[in-house]
């Protein structure tokens, strides 16, 4: 599954989580000025949740980057 030539699945996951995290962070920052019509909006869950996604995504992207794997 993870032969030397193959990009690890974790890299794809990291990339997708990071991208989604950035999108959600953007909507979260926008929501600071125009809060969404949902319960507990004042907790700004989208901001801290997206930061968590970006952190995990970055970890997977760096740890399982194809160049790093080849070395």
Partner 1 sequence: MTNLLLLAAADGAPQRLLSIGPVDILIIVVYFLVVLAIGFYLRKFATTGEDFFLAGRKMTAWIAGLSFISANLSSLETMGWSAMAYQYGMLGAHAYLIGAIPAILFLAVVMMPFYYICRTHSVPGYLKLRYGEGARSLAGVSFAFMTVLVSGASMFAMAKILNLLLGWNMSMSIWVASLTVAVYVFLAGLVSAVFNEVLQFFLIWFGSLLIPILGLIHAGGWNRMMDTIKENVKVIHPTVPNADFSHLWSSLGSFDTNPMGIDWFGMVFGLGLAVSFGYWCTDFLQVQRVIVARNLRAAQNGTIIGAVLKMCVPLIVTIPGLLGLAVLANPDGSPMVLVPESDPRAMITHRTFNDVLPLLMGQYLGPGLLGLGVTAMIAGFMSGMAGNVSAFATVWTYDVYRPLLNRTASDRHYLAMGRWCSILGVLLSIGTAYALFFFSNILEFLQVLVFFFIVPLFGVVILGMLWKRATPAGGFWGFLAAILVSMGMWGFVHWFPDGHRPEPKVLLKIKEVETSGGETQKMLPVVALEKETDEAGREKITKVTVESGLVETTNAPIQPYAMVQPAEFTVSAGGAELLPSIPGKEKPLLVKVLAPEVSLAGTEEKGKFGVEGVPVVLKPGVEVKAADITQRFNPAEFNPEHTKYVARSEKAKPMAVNMYSAFWTLLVSLGVAAGVSLFTRPKPNEELKNLVFGLTPLPDEGPCPWHQRPGLWAAIVAVVLVAINIIFW
Residue 46: CB atoms within 10 Å: 20
User: Of 3, 33, 42, 67, which one interacts with partner 1 (CB under 8 A)?
Assistant: 3
User: Of 4, 32, 42, 46, which one interacts with partner 1 (CB under 8 A)?
Assistant: 46
Q: What is the DSSP string of 24-59?
A: HHHHHHHHHHS--SSTTGGG-HHHHHHHHHHHHHHH
User: Of 50, 54, 61, 64, which one interacts with partner 1 (CB under 8 A)?
Assistant: 50
Site string for partner 1, 9-28 (x = CB under 8 A): x--xx--xx-xx--xx-xxx
């Amino acid at each position: 599954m993870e032969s030397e030539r193959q990009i690890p699945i974790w890299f794809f996951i990291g990339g997708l989580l990071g991208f989604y995290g950035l999108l959600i962070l953007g909507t979260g920052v926008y929501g600071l000025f125009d809060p969404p019509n949902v319960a507990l909006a004042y907790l700004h869950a989208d901001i801290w949740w997206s930061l968590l996604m970006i952190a995990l995504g970055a970890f997977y992207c760096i740890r399982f980057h194809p160049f790093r794997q080849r070395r």
